[in-house]
Structure 1
């Protein structure tokens, strides 16, 4: 089987968020779950994506080194790159990927940009900060705390507050969620963020596309905008464009980024 490693949400190598992608289109059936989990653990990347063909397009699944997850943005972006430019090379400018979070669309734009069409998250404002969250993050007092479908989102006053955080990951792992998003207004973009996910096997994720299904609706409402620029402030860094739009089935977020191919190999 072929395996690719790519850097997502960046226009240069050794930045953005690395993901592995394993096409299973030759046999067009899933490997045993334990085998896919073992491959993801061996890769030791934030996510490894596997995909097969379906009657309507493709089906995608994502694994961290320790668990299968319901949604992953950067590995979906990387999978779109593999399908569009390396494997299937469809003539159409969009593909549909079935997933545990429903159908996901990936569109091909100009200059190698790809756009994910993801369902927008629904936030509930929390009046109480869980003890593990307060103890795990430390730093200044946040302005707001929200709970989304899978993550907590903690809002700070300034970009400097987010940059200065030095979490206690052992404590943060006790927060009952997939992970913790921290965010603030940006100095050169609409908003910045970081994502901590020790519960899912990754202390700090370099760039978290799925977190922007939570971030974009919040900042869109707060700033009164539907088109937003975003930067994730990990050591590797990442740059994203977000666009909010409504459909008959609910609110969606377009998340756009670029991808760089790092490696192509063969699983023995």
Structure 2
């Protein structure tokens, strides 16, 4: 039996019970993929991040309770928080390598952490009938990125009022569906639904902002943006469009440090 340290971190928030919780395991070497999936299922959080040191950098993988995913922002933020807080790094930036998403960096500036991720590429599409059926209302426009749909609505109130049929949504051929609108107190608001990968509604989705930032940057004519994800836990993000990259800044706090036996 192997004993591993497990951290649970609330990301994109400055207080516990807010933002998006992620589990983080820093490993000496990779576990079998089946074992990592079992740990993620047992944690039953939106994401569990597994990290292995490779030279001066780190490799990272992310698992929902049901599948491995290509990219996860909040769990990367959580992993960086763990390394900065508990592994006594002498640098203020961490380079992660993902076999699915390439080079990712996280920079620490005081209590804030800034993700540097690749920008998603969007294509405007006709609104799939399945999505209109799932949400019970047609959006103003729809876009398709690498893994997700982005649906645009008129107001923040529209986003709050959405109650999708998750069984219908689970049949959509995508990782998940982002819904977004102009914000009243921030530049834009959003929610993210992904029953396809075992996450009915994600509290705060960093990777979805690789899609949202280029869209809203172009629409609003500004590079720096503020964002809020309108889940029950909510989360606050500061965003910047950098062309083929985006910067996503937020806080993180520790909720739990323990041991698991596998």
TM-score bin, normalised by smaller chain: over 0.9
Alignment of 1:156-167 (within 5 A): 156-167=153-164
Q: Which runs of 5+ in 1 are unaligned?
A: none
Q: Is the 8 A contact 2:127 2:139 kept in 1?
A: no
Shift of 1:56: 4.1
Instruction: Tell me what 1:138 maps to.
Output: 136
Q: Find the aligned partners of 1:138 and 1:92 in 2 and give their Cα distance.
A: 49
Instruction: Tell me what 1:16 maps to.
Output: 19
Instruction: Tell me what 1:58 maps to.
Output: 58
Q: Is the 8 A contact 2:12 2:251 kept in 1?
A: yes
Shift of 1:138: 1.3
Instruction: Tell me what 1:252 maps to.
Output: 245
Instruction: Tell me what 1:124 maps to.
Output: 123
Q: CA RMSD in A?
A: 0.7
Alignment of 1:1-268 (within 5 A): 1-24=4-27, 28-87=28-87, 89-99=88-98, 100-110=100-110, 112-126=111-125, 128-139=126-137, 141-246=138-243, 251-268=244-261
Q: Find the aligned partners of 2:30 and 2:47 in 1 and give their Cα distance.
A: 17
Q: Find the aligned partners of 2:114 and 2:29 in 1 and give their Cα distance.
A: 26
After TM superposition, the runs of 4+ consecutive aligned structure 1 residues lying more than 4 A away are none
Shift of 1:129: 1.8
